[in-house]
Structure 1
């Protein structure tokens, strides 16, 4: 399935209009519509936001996985996007804290 098709399908499953999802992303509806039509691709930052809003992994969103939720992929992506400029020791601590945070978050949503 193409990214544009998957994006549209996930948006509809979330019961969101293009306008609503675009608003959550902080963009205009016409830019979002271009993604669903396959005319343009979102930035990596917007891919992460979309995945978070639609509660799927980025890999699933772009068609690299059939697993909708892969927390490890999401953690790795968050880590990569936010660890630039950190020392090796700081990166190690940051990654550990991200994993702990995601585990706590998962527990909170399971209740």
Structure 2
């Protein structure tokens, strides 16, 4: 489960033990261990506490980093590399790329209809 992995990963990046995170989030260390080991799923209230304690977001805890999410959704590695490069461009250049992609997708949709 991505959630358990993300909680544990972020906790370790912060250099905290389970006991330290549990204390900061006002949880029992045993319960935190259950979340990290996929024995239990935290409620939304607990997710809020964990996110706040780790100065993160619920979105990150549930879905991971944007790059990880993109890797899971985009199978074409060359395309993924190109998107990563585009992300580093200036806003005006990004707009041009978006217009080009939109034009190509629209063209293909129209061709499929005809």
Bin for the TM-score computed over the shorter chain: 0.5 to 0.7
Distance 1:29 1:59, change over 3 A: same
Give the superposition deviation at 1:66. Answer: 2.1
Cα drift, residue 57 of structure 1:
1.5
Q: Deviations over 1:9-68 (max 9, x none)?
A: 00001111000111112221111100000111111111011111212211111117628x
1:58-107 deviations in Å (ceiling 9; x for gaps):
1111117628xxxxxxxxxxxxxxxxxxxxxxxxxxxxxxxxxxxxxxxx
**Structure 2 segments unaligned to the other structure (5+ residues):** 68-114
Specify the SS of the correspondent of 1:52: helix
Asked whether 1:13 is paired with 2:22, we answer: no
Superposition CA RMSD, Å: 1.8
What is the number of equivalent residue pairs in this alignment?
67
Greater fraction helix: 2
3-state SS in 1 of match to 2:66: coil
* TM-score, normalising length: structure 2: 0.53
Show the 5 A alignment for 1:62-101: 62-63=62-63, 66=66
Q: What's 2:31 paired with? A: 31
Counterpart for residue 96 of structure 1: none
